[in-house]
């Protein structure tokens, strides 16, 4: 029954010790969002929709979405918004600098739920960042899905993320609808409106459509109402939620949604499983 000290140390290392990731590319996406391409010591082995805990020892640690699809190499892609002390320091890092990475954590999306179906993605603002991990995976084997549609909205043209990739996806046969809430007098070639606006106009076959959505907390209810009007069942809708997280391993309590831990059972949920969790949306 006595556990050897080395066992505690191994357990502590497995749980809380970040592995080093070397930054191999950075790029500004907007005034406050920066793209980071990180090379890890070993492949991350993640599913779409999972997240990592990113840290700089001495500064802090935060949960960050994985933005690349599943990969066999050691690469991890993230987009990090400058919003606090840690992200400010991360924004000052350059190619060659190191980040601490733990994970991947959370449930993620299961591609088996999407194969053979029409797929609709709805992304609001930074929601495109985690959803990109799934879009990339779906786009990579687009023949295994029916019609693929992406609605991507953001506040104004200057806040649009992955603009070139959105165009590439459109060129590859995905129906991409790009919107801004307001042009704010900036040049803009696409639509103006909320991400819910295009949904009534889409021809959706509720029997063979699955939806994945991610965006700011306020977005979900409106999108789900619009989808319900198109008779899309709650069990065909997957939502990717956001919560405060300090550990990633179901202990610190911050990410709790009613009785469940978002970091363990989420952050991706089938919406029908959230109906009994009034704190979810």
- C-beta closer to another protein: residue 17 or 140: 17
What helix, strand, coil percent values describe the chain, rounded to 5?
Answer: 30, 30, 40
**DSSP single-letter state for residue 111:** G
- C-beta closer to another protein: residue 71 or 243: 243
Q: How far is CA 140 from CA 70, 102, 179, in A?
A: 10, 26, 24
Maximum C-alpha span of the chain: 69
Residues 162, 190 contacting (CB under 8 angstroms) = no
- C-beta closer to another protein: residue 59 or 194: 59
Q: Strand 118-124 vs strand 209-214: parallel, antiparallel, or unpaired?
A: parallel
Q: What are the E-state strand segments in the chain?
A: 19-28, 33-40, 51-56, 60-65, 75-81, 98-105, 118-124, 148-154, 175-180, 191-192, 209-214, 237-240, 256-257, 260-261, 268-270
- C-beta closer to another protein: residue 10 or 144: 10
> CA–CA separation, 258 vs 62, rounded Å?
22
Give me the residues that bind another protein (CB under 8 A), please.
1-3, 5, 8-9, 11-13, 15-18, 55-62, 81, 83-84, 87, 216-217, 242-244, 246-247, 249-254, 256-259, 264, 278-279
Q: How many C-beta atoms lie closer than 10 Å to residue 99's C-beta?
A: 23
- C-beta closer to another protein: residue 231 or 244: 244
- C-beta closer to another protein: residue 14 or 168: 14
> CA–CA separation, 264 vs 112, rounded Å?
20
> CA–CA separation, 181 vs 84, rounded Å?
25
- C-beta closer to another protein: residue 168 or 279: 279
Burial degree of 90 (CB within 10 A; 0-12, 13-18, 19+):
buried
CB of 242 to another protein, least distance (A): 6
């Amino acid at each position: 029954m006595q556990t050897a000290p080395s066992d505690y140390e191994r357990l502590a290392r497995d749980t809380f010790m970040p592995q080093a990731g070397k930054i191999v590319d950075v790029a500004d996406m907007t005034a406050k969002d920066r793209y980071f391409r990180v090379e890890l010591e070993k492949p991350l082995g993640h599913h779409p929709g999972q997240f990592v805990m990113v840290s700089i020892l001495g500064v802090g640690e935060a949960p960050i979405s994985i933005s690349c699809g599943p990969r066999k190499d050691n690469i991890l892609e993230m987009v990090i918004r400058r919003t606090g002390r840690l992200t400010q320091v991360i924004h000052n890092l350059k190619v060659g600098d190191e980040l601490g990475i733990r994970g991947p954590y959370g449930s993620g999306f299961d591609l088996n739920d999407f194969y053979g179906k029409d797929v609709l993605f709805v992304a609001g603002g930074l929601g495109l960042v985690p959803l990109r991990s799934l879009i990339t995976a779906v786009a990579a084997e687009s023949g295994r899905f029916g019609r693929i549609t992406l609605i991507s909205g953001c506040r104004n043209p200057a806040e649009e993320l992955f603009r070139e990739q959105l165009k590439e996806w459109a060129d590859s046969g995905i129906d991409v609808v790009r919107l801004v809430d307001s042009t704010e007098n900036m040049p803009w070639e696409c639509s103006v409106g909320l991400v819910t606006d295009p949904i009534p106009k889409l021809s959706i076959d509720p029997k063979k459509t699955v939806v994945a959505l991610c965006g700011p907390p306020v977005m979900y209810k409106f999108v789900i109402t619009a989808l319900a009007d198109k008779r899309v069942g709650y069990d065909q809708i997957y939502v990717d939620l956001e919560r405060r997280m300090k550990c990633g391993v179901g202990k610190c309590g911050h990410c709790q949604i009613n009785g469940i831990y978002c970091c363990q059972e989420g952050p991706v949920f089938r919406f029908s499983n959230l109906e009994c969790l009034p704190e979810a949306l």
